[in-house]
Structure 1
Amino acid sequence: MAEHAGTWHGTWHEGAGHESTVRIGTSGWSYDHWEGVLYPPGLPARDRLAHYAARFDTVELNASFYRWPKEDSFAGWRRRLPEGFALSVKAPRGLTHAKKLYAPEVWVDRITRCWHELGDKRAVLLVQLPPDFARDDARLDYFLAALPGWIRVSVEFRHPSWDDAGVYALLERHGAAYCIMSGAGLPCVLRATAPFVYVRLHGPDRDVLYGGSYPDEDLHWWAARIREWRAAGKDVFAYFNNDGGGNAVRNATALRRMLEGPPPG
């Protein structure tokens, strides 16, 4: 097992009767430095998503964290993305970092209207909490209760105080996924709290987030974990966030190929 990978904590029930799906993609898609890796030189930025969607079946939208798109943008993605493609979206920093989930009603209403527009192309709403946001069960519980039950949500915790059995139980009550992380200085806790698993791979570099390329040894380890989740009937969404040098594209492609083939003997 790769040294950074952490310890297996999940409790699974076999034979759930659900044919699980696994989607592997990247965090973001419009990077100039992906020319020659994913995009042919000179490809207009407006054509990058279509080119990406011809190769992958999911992506995590990160620009929404800085500026939440309008409803017609979500409707446009629903029309433009191919059948079977699923878009995960990062929640706005106005909700997660400025307000730290306090009084979330206005944001929940905006997100819900946009999620309706995304239709059958919607995957998971990623809610990344800031490193200075310490554990507050009541606030998290209120926020999750305010979200419509049909919106799949995953919460990424950056403050260590959230690593607690009570928090996992709270997520389970709401059917929200604990976001499993891999990256420098981040705890890699393999805990499943929802019918789906959400994984963000921020890079193997021990000192710098988003840096480096995962070696095959690490990717095989993650492939084995994904096979276990899939066997347990869990849908899996995994996104590589180490975009530098096109590493995310290469790692996502390699992991998908490992999962398409037979497990190593």
Structure 2
Amino acid sequence: MAKGLARVRYGTSSWTAKGWSGTFYPPGTKPADQLAFYATQFDTVEADTTYYRAPTTALAQGWARKTPAGFALAAKFPRAIVHGGDGEKPDASRVLVPRHAAPHTEQFLAAMAELGAKCGPLVLQFPYFNKSAFAELGPFLERLDAYLAALPPSFRYAVEVRNKAWLVPQLTDVLRRHRAALVLVDLVYLPHPADVAKELDVVTAEFSYARLIGDRAAVEAHTTSFERIVLDQRARLSRWAEFLTALRERVIEIGVYANNHYAGHGPTTIRELRARVERGGA
């Protein structure tokens, strides 16, 4: 699919954390100035706030003003679309259902359109669904297929599922039909994407999207301010570097995002991964 090696964009999940002042941002950096500084260090970021509420057009215009040409701001679809519930438990009766999802989808896409060429992939991050939510994969895929078909083709889309049993060809067939990327996620209760790729063709679009999320409980046992690395993830980062190096031959672009919960400090994690890939996967 790709001609030459893919460009790899490196960034973090969100650009704010209370422990980043002095450890990533220069001391005294105002919150309003953080994104502009962030964009001098990385060429992409994943907006986390959009999961909780669709941004306004004014907010998205501000993001565009604060970032340079060539920057890519990825974002999550609102929780109301992919989760549906008011509490921790998802409400499957509302997930991807047009009458519930439509207003949130319209507001979200209208805002993200303000970014123009700076708009990165838009992520449908689904929670883990138990049998009471979806008894089997089929009904979920029917909704996903219809939802993706109705989305405008002017954006790029990525889909993350957190049910191990759903990482099957039936899912990737739907994604491939709509040129949506399968999110390659490193999460404590899911197999590493390199292992998934041994059994499943994980390339479903011209680009790939990877998220290093990790183990929230393990990291928060050491820190909740995220000012430093608290878990040694060097072995997993080496595996990621090898996997991404091979993946670069199959797509034209890869976006990789490190969460603070992966090792304790997202910027340090993604810088280390970038260095390993640039060394050829070492």
Alignment TM class, shorter chain as reference: 0.7 to 0.9
Offset at residue 233 of structure 1 (A):
3.3
Amino acid at match of 2:277: L
Offset at residue 263 of structure 1 (A):
4.5
Sequence identity (%):
35
Q: Tell me, what secondary structure is at the counterpart of 1:29?
A: coil
Offset at residue 255 of structure 1 (A):
1.1
Offset at residue 160 of structure 1 (A):
3.5
Q: Tell me, what secondary structure is at the counterpart of 2:182?
A: strand
Change (3 A) 1:169 1:183: same
Change (3 A) 1:74 1:201: same
- The one of 24, 30, 40 equivalent to 2:16 is 30
What is aligned with 1:42? 28
Offset at residue 207 of structure 1 (A):
6.2
Q: Distance in 2 between matches of 1:142 and 1:170?
A: 10
Change (3 A) 1:207 1:42: closer
What is aligned with 1:4? none
1:232 and 2:236 correspond:
no
Offset at residue 140 of structure 1 (A):
0.4
Amino acid at match of 2:96: L
Q: Tell me, what secondary structure is at the counterpart of 1:125?
A: strand
CA contact (8 A) 1:213 1:242 kept: no
1:100 and 2:100 correspond:
no
CA contact (8 A) 1:90 1:125 kept: yes
TM-score, normalization by structure 2: 0.81
What is aligned with 1:8? none
Aligned residues: 249
Offset at residue 56 of structure 1 (A):
0.6
Q: 5+ unaligned residues in a row in structure 2: which ranges?
A: 85-93, 222-229
CA contact (8 A) 1:177 1:196 kept: yes
Q: How does 1:71-220 map to 2 (within 5 A)?
A: 71-98=57-84, 99-103=94-98, 104-132=101-129, 133-134=133-134, 135=137, 136-188=140-192, 189-190=196-197, 191-203=202-214, 205=215, 208=218, 213-220=231-238
Q: Distance in 1 between matches of 2:123 and 2:266?
A: 18
TM-score, normalization by structure 1: 0.86
What is aligned with 1:54? 40
Offset at residue 18 of structure 1 (A):
6.0
CA contact (8 A) 2:46 2:74 kept: yes
Q: How does 1:64-75 map to 2 (within 5 A)?
A: 64-75=50-61
Amino acid at match of 1:130: P
Amino acid at match of 1:112: L
Offset at residue 65 of structure 1 (A):
0.8
Which stretch of structure 1 is more off in the superposition, 130-139 or 150-159?
A: 130-139
CA contact (8 A) 1:64 1:90 kept: yes
Amino acid at match of 1:111: F
Offset at residue 83 of structure 1 (A):
1.5
Offset at residue 51 of structure 1 (A):
1.4
Q: Distance in 2 between matches of 1:263 and 1:21?
A: 15
Amino acid at match of 2:97: Y
- The one of 234, 239, 247 equivalent to 1:221 is 239
Q: Distance in 2 between matches of 1:171 and 1:105?
A: 20
What is aligned with 2:88? none
Q: 5+ unaligned residues in a row in structure 1: which ranges?
A: 1-12
Offset at residue 70 of structure 1 (A):
0.3
- The one of 20, 26, 37 equivalent to 2:6 is 20
Q: Tell me, what secondary structure is at the counterpart of 1:197?
A: strand
Q: Tell me, what secondary structure is at the counterpart of 2:265?
A: helix
Q: Distance in 2 between matches of 1:62 and 1:105?
A: 20
Which stretch of structure 1 is more off in the superposition, 55-64 or 151-160?
A: 151-160
Deviations 1:33-66 (A, max 9, x none): 1122201223211111111111011000001111
Amino acid at match of 2:203: A
